Amino acid sequence: MTEAIRAAVFDELAAVGYGRMSIEAVARRAGVGKTAVYRRWPSKLQMVIDVVSDVVGYDVPAPDTGSLRGDVRMILDIAARALRHPLAGQIVPDLLAEAARTPDIARTLERALRDTQRGLGEAIVAAAVTRGEVGPATDAGMALDLALGPLYWHIAVLREPVTKSYLDRLADTVATALAVPRPPRAADEAH
Amino acid sequence: MTEAIRAAVFDELAAVGYGRMSIEAVARRAGVGKTAVYRRWPSKLQMVIDVVSDVVGYDVPAPDTGSLRGDVRMILDIAARALRHPLAGQIVPDLLAEAARTPDIARTLERALRDTQRGLGEAIVAAAVTRGEVGPATDAGMALDLALGPLYWHIAVLREPVTKSYLDRLADTVATALAVPRPPRAADEAH
DNA sequence: GGACGACGAAACGGTTGCGTTCCGTCCTGT
DNA sequence: ACAGGACGGAACGCAACCGTTTCGTCGTCC
């Protein structure tokens, strides 16, 4: 029962988005009376936050492939797989947009994204540091930005297909960029 | 009059999002009767597409600072300035999410983003190639992904402040990553 | 200065969703 | 076998919007 409603929330979110989603429609889709919904959650916002929180409470295992490039490639693969999922691919951008005007949603996504993500980045960079692949001052946050940013941009913004080859090249580039020692600040400030 | 309505569309888009936006609310905000709106556009979708198309018809001049790093930095600055604008920062992610379920919106954004963007990337990379900063096989698409992806990720997804220092480091990293000759494919396939 | 067009305001009937209440049924636990 | 709880369904009054129509008032052009 509760499971049917949770699934219906996802389907409805994907179909019409958070803004247009109505509790009536969720109940209809789940095949339950809306009484059943109101018995569980006091509002649309609370319902969505609860349902979404449940799902994003996954724990991505820190990859350990033995090389920075391999680790980055694995993270890219996991992220790409998630974003390619029809439901997630539709819901994530939607909630992201909604987060800009609903602090509770922003907080939920923040916990989901930033916290789990930060740990991942630090683990990967730390491993690469001990391996001697990158310098000890390497910025883990920047590393993840470099990897996930282009991926998200490609999938969610440009909406172009992401091929294995693209992921390979992206992982290559990111690992290389991080491995290169800080350049001697050639051609500084303005042109 | 028409100008007031256009402005109201933007404000309303930012305030409640495309999904929740109603023509009545737009008319109310613009201080006109909804008759005036319906006289101009047949539907909410057409109205939004028309209004948005008008604005994104800008022409970003191809930067020419004399160095790849400088060109990248300038593009990052322009993009960051645009995304930091309260209206754009709210509206862009919203329309992006809506684009996933409304082909007409997707097409509008595609023209706006991909086409103007592609030209920019190719111009910058071409200039860098003639300067000898990068190899002739450099992928302009990947170059832009590398620059704009992390920026968008940082601003719109992580919602963390983007400092000048961050943009500096990002431009540095991107320029460096592109400048490095393709590595000898060390440690290939799986781990 | 007279005609025409665009305007706002208001109202139309219809739909959808809100959050709540009530009722009759069915399932469960004991 | 019985009691209690959760269920679906229906209806409540209320509000917002839909897209259209009507009407009286301006402003503008010739």
Quick one: pLDDT at residue B183?
47
Where a domain ends, among A17, A34, A54?
A54
Neighbours of B189 (CB within 10 A): 7
Kindly state whether residue B77 falls inside one of the protein's structural domains: yes
Whether A78 and A64 share a structural domain: yes
Whether B108 and B29 share a structural domain: no
Residues whose C-beta lies under 7 Å from strand C:
A 22-25, 34-35, 38, 43-44; B 1-2, 31-36, 39
What is the longest distance spanned by two Cα atoms in chain A? 67
Kindly state whether residue B63 falls inside one of the protein's structural domains: yes
Instruction: List bases in chain C with any atom under 7 Å of a protein Cβ.
Output: 6-11, 16-22
Quick one: pLDDT at residue A25?
93
Q: Which structure tokens are listed for B149?
A: 């992806």
Whether A49 and A62 share a structural domain: no
Neighbours of A158 (CB within 10 A): 22
Distance CA B126, CA B136 (A): 8
Query: Averaged over A169-183, what is the pLDDT?
Result: 82
Distance CA B91, CA A154 (A): 19
Whether B89 and B49 share a structural domain: no
Instruction: List bases in chain D with any atom under 7 Å of a protein Cβ.
Output: 6-11, 16-22
For the range A33-39, what are the long-range contacts, defined as Cβ-Cβ under 8 Å and sequence gap of 24 or more?
A: A36/A1, A36/A5, A37/A5
Domain that holds residue A112: 58-179
Q: Is A187 left (phi over 0), alpha (psi -120 to 50) or beta?
A: left
Cβ separation B154–A145 shorter than 8 A: yes
Task: Check if the beta carbon of residue A144 is closer than 8 Å to that of residue B139.
Answer: no
pLDDT of residue A125 exceeding 50: yes
Whether B82 and B124 share a structural domain: yes
Kindly state whether residue B191 falls inside one of the protein's structural domains: no
Quick one: pLDDT at residue A112?
82
Where a domain ends, among A20, A35, A54?
A54
How many domains does one find in chain A?
2
pLDDT of residue A189 exceeding 50: no
Where a domain ends, among A10, A26, A54?
A54
Q: Which residue is nearest to nucleotide D20 (CA to C1')?
A: B35
Tell me, what CATH number does A47's domain have? 1.10.10.60
pLDDT of residue A75 exceeding 60: yes
Neighbours of A165 (CB within 10 A): 8
Kindly state whether residue B30 falls inside one of the protein's structural domains: yes
User: Which pLDDT tens digit goes with each residue over B110-164?
Assistant: 888 877 777 888 999 999 999 999 989 899 999 999 999 999 999 999 888 999 9
User: Which pLDDT tens digit goes with each residue over A47-66?
Assistant: 999 998 888 766 778 888 99
Distance CA A35, CA A23 (A): 10
Whether B46 and B73 share a structural domain: no
Whether B41 and B99 share a structural domain: no
Task: Check if the beta carbon of residue B28 is closer than 8 Å to that of residue B21.
Answer: no
pLDDT of residue B79 exceeding 80: yes
Nearest to B177 by CA among A69, A97, A118: A69
Whether A12 and A83 share a structural domain: no
% residues pLDDT > 90 (chain B): 67
Kindly state whether residue A186 falls inside one of the protein's structural domains: no
Q: Tokens 């300067």 label which residue?
A: B131
Tell me, what CATH number does B63's domain have? 1.10.357.10
Kindly state whether residue A45 falls inside one of the protein's structural domains: yes
Q: Which pLDDT band holds residue B181 (cuts at 50, 70, 90)? A: low
Whether A36 and A128 share a structural domain: no
Whether B46 and B66 share a structural domain: no
Residues whose C-beta lies under 7 Å from strand D:
A 1-2, 31-36, 39; B 22-25, 34-35, 38, 43-44
